[in-house]
């Protein structure tokens, strides 16, 4: 980069709102030929929304998009492709039973007849021009994920893209394939392409990009030349905190009433013990790797992790929705892992899953959803006690301030009200152990505060709470202890008063962790 070339694509004051939520606020961004720009941010920071705007899937509410200096309106991905913008998403759009060349020209080449050798030649020429190692005749079905990703890249290049966007490209790759992808991207950059790589892994930013833009809560919070940036600095920008002692300050600033954690002798025996939990999927990929921890009564333990690092699987195991491949969970010394959900509920495990719609049946009424988990209590000889169900529903609706009538279908409620239904059903049974995942995702400020209060209430009545959240603020505000997960393992364990936010950020991003696998 001798002189600064004209940007390929520029964003000027781009804003995108979804209802009350501002997903992107006033974004300015340039991406130039011959550079790889890393877009770094936590989940929900707005990376994907930004991509969708550049790729024509969303229209900005404000601001403008320029391609080659000219303001444009991209109404669809077809427009974006025509403007020379290519996207490689995590979900490949390939037809497995077709060859590479057929996939590449699919939806592009006109004419009724397909001249095989001609398209194969053309595709090969594109591949060679960009130094991509792809055989045009190979069947996509037989290719590795890494190779399929190269086909996706080739597809974009064959459509003459000048800006290539990769959305978390390494999420689906092995480390070896990841390194190969980076080598490919280096090659594309040398040939003058502009590349945006979306990631939340610091290592990748440092490895492949020349420039990094950090997004947080829909805003650009920093921009650095990668060469001059330190990982610790980027981590701090990403999670939005300065160096310590931020944690105590944030505590003081919260409106939450909380008593300091003092363990009484009773609370010194762990209520929940996770022992060497391991979970592998069908293909043998390790999702949970030797996870052990203790939970004591009267504490909230927060799990901080970037999505896809095993926290969802941990919740599945603890809520009885998945069987661990190895290891066990003890509740008051009794083994509870592997028990069906009904039995867990009976033993005093309160469960609030990550996806609310996994906890309620949308097509059933509020009344039915509030009672189904403990339906035995409302049944006499198999016959439902409608009056008792209605009374319970009325009671919970009032107590948990659900804005709905007992007969409403749950599907028709807002996210906040659905979450209140899940909480009401779960917490009204006074569980000893509460597992809660993403408790406030998608909720507005009021509902969020309400949920937080209820969770602290559980802690104060001596339940053990394990909370998984993508929102690091939430984890830090509520937790008495913070566990950090990365790659299916617990890589950090901090007491609330000694949380080093910078270190948490690094651990979440996979730094300071021995690489395995």
Partner 1 sequence: MARSAPTARAARRPWRWEWGSAPWWLRLALPMIAILVTFALASVLIAASGANPLDVFYELLIRPLTRRTSRLEVLVRATPLLLTGVAVAIAFRAGYYNIGAEGQLYAGALAAAFLGPRLGEWAPPAAVAVMLVGGLVAGAAWALLPAVLKVYAKVDEVVTTLLLNSVMLLLVGGLLNGPWRDPVSGWPRSPTIAAAAEFPQVIARSRVHLGFVVALVLVALFWWVLSRTHFGLELRAVGMGATAARFMGVSVRATVLFAALLSGGVAGLAGVGEVAGIHHYLIEGISPDYGYTGIIVATFGGLHALGVAVAAGFLALVDVGSTSASRALGIPAYLGQVVQATLLLVTLAVLLLNRYRPARRSRREERV
Distance CA 229, CA 354 (A): 35
**8-state DSSP, 366:** H
Choosing from 15, 22, 89, 325, the residue that interacts with partner 1 (CB under 8 A) is 89
CB 366 within 8 A of CB 410: yes
**Which token pair is 485?**
């997960």
- Give the nearest distance from C-beta 250 to partner 1 in angstroms: 25
The reply to whether 95 sits near partner 1 by the rule CB under 8 A is no
The reply to whether 240 sits near partner 1 by the rule CB under 8 A is no
Choosing from 82, 244, 372, 391, the residue that interacts with partner 1 (CB under 8 A) is 372
The reply to whether 19 sits near partner 1 by the rule CB under 8 A is yes
CB 31 within 8 A of CB 51: no
Choosing from 249, 342, 398, 495, the residue that interacts with partner 1 (CB under 8 A) is 342
CA 278 to chain centroid: 21
**What is the C-alpha radius of gyration for the chain, rounded to an integer number of angstroms?**
25
- Give the nearest distance from C-beta 198 to partner 1 in angstroms: 12
CB 35 within 8 A of CB 28: no
Closer of 423 and 482 to partner 1 (Cβ): 423
Q: What angle do CA 416, 417, 419 make, to 5 degrees?
A: 65
Total of chain residues touching partner 1, rule CB under 8 A = 57
**Which token pair is 323?**
């069987």
The reply to whether 377 sits near partner 1 by the rule CB under 8 A is no
- Give the nearest distance from C-beta 330 to partner 1 in angstroms: 21
Choosing from 10, 103, 319, 458, the residue that interacts with partner 1 (CB under 8 A) is 319
CB 173 within 8 A of CB 146: yes
The reply to whether 98 sits near partner 1 by the rule CB under 8 A is no
The reply to whether 253 sits near partner 1 by the rule CB under 8 A is no
- Interface mask (CB under 8 A) for partner 1, residues 119-148, using x and -? ------------------------------
Expressed in angstroms, the distance from the first to the final Cα of the chain is: 36
SS (H, E, C) 259-296: CCCCCCHHHHCCCEEEEEEEEECCCCCEEEEEEEEEEC
Q: Which stretch binds partner 1 (CB under 8 A): 124-132, 351-359, 397-405, 448-456?
A: 351-359
Q: Which residues contact 267 (CB under 8 A, 6 or more apart)?
A: 296, 297, 298, 299, 462
Which among 137, 140, 117, 198 is positioned nearest to 164, based on CA atoms? 198
Closer of 57 and 261 to partner 1 (Cβ): 57
Site for partner 1 in 429-488 (CB under 8 A): 442
Closer of 266 and 361 to partner 1 (Cβ): 361
Residues forming contacts to partner 1 in the complex (CB under 8 A) are 17-19, 21, 23, 44, 46, 48-49, 52, 55-59, 75-78, 81, 87, 89, 93, 107, 155, 319, 321, 340-343, 345, 351, 353, 357-364, 368-369, 372-373, 375-376, 379, 382-384, 386, 409, 411-412, 442
């Amino acid at each position: 980069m001798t002189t600064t070339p004209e940007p390929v694509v520029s964003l000027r004051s781009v804003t995108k709102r979804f209802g009350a939520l501002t997903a992107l606020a006033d974004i300015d961004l340039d991406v130039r030929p011959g550079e790889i720009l890393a877009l770094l941010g936590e989940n929900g920071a707005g990376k994907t929304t930004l991509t969708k705007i550049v790729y024509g899937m969303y229209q900005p509410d404000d601001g403008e998009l320029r391609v080659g200096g000219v303001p444009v309106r991209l109404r669809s991905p077809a427009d974006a492709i025509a403007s020379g913008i290519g996207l490689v998403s995590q979900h490949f759009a390939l037809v497995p039973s077709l060859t590479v060349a057929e996939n590449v020209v699919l939806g592009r080449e006109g004419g009724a007849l397909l001249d095989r050798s001609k398209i194969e030649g053309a595709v090969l020429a594109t591949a060679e021009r960009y130094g991509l190692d792809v055989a045009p005749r190979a069947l996509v079905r037989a290719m590795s994920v890494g190779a399929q990703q190269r086909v996706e890249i080739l597809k974009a290049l064959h459509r003459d893209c000048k800006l290539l966007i990769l959305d978390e490209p390494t999420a689906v790759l092995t480390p070896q394939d990841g390194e190969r992808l980076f080598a490919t991207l280096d090659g594309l950059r040398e040939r003058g392409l502009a590349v945006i790589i979306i990631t939340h892994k610091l290592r990748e930013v440092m490895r492949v990009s020349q420039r990094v833009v950090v997004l947080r809560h829909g805003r650009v919070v920093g921009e650095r030349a990668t060469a001059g940036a330190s990982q610790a600095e980027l981590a701090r920008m990403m999670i939005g905190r300065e160096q310590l002692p931020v944690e105590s300050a944030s505590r003081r600033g919260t409106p939450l009433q909380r008593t300091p954690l003092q363990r009484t002798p009773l609370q010194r025996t762990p209520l929940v013990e996770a022992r060497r939990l391991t979970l592998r999927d069908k293909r043998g990929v390790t999702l949970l790797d030797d996870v052990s921890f203790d939970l004591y009564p009267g504490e909230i333990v927060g799990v901080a992790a970037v999505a896809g690092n095993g926290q969802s699987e941990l919740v599945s195991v603890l809520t009885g929705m998945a069987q661990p491949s190895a290891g066990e969970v003890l509740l008051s010394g009794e083994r509870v892992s592997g028990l069906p959900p009904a039995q867990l509920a009976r033993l005093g495990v309160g469960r609030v899953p990550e996806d609310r719609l996994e906890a309620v049946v949308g097509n059933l009424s509020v009344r039915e959803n509030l009672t189904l988990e403990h339906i035995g209590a409302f049944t006499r000889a198999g016959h439902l006690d409608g009056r008792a169900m209605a009374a319970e529903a009325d009671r919970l609706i009032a107590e948990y301030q659900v804005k709905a009538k007992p007969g409403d279908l749950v599907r028709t409620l807002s996210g906040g009200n659905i979450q209140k239904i899940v909480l009401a059903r779960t917490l009204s049974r006074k569980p000893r152990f509460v597992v809660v995942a993403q408790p406030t995702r998608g909720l507005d400020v009021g509902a969020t505060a309400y949920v937080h209060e209820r969770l602290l209430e559980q802690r104060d009545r001596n339940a053990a709470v394990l909370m998984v959240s993508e929102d690091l603020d939430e984890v830090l505000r509520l937790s008495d202890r913070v566990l950090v997960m990365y790659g299916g393992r617990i890589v950090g364990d901090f007491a609330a008063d000694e949380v080093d936010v910078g270190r948490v950020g690094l651990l979440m991003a996979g730094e300071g962790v021995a690489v395995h696998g």
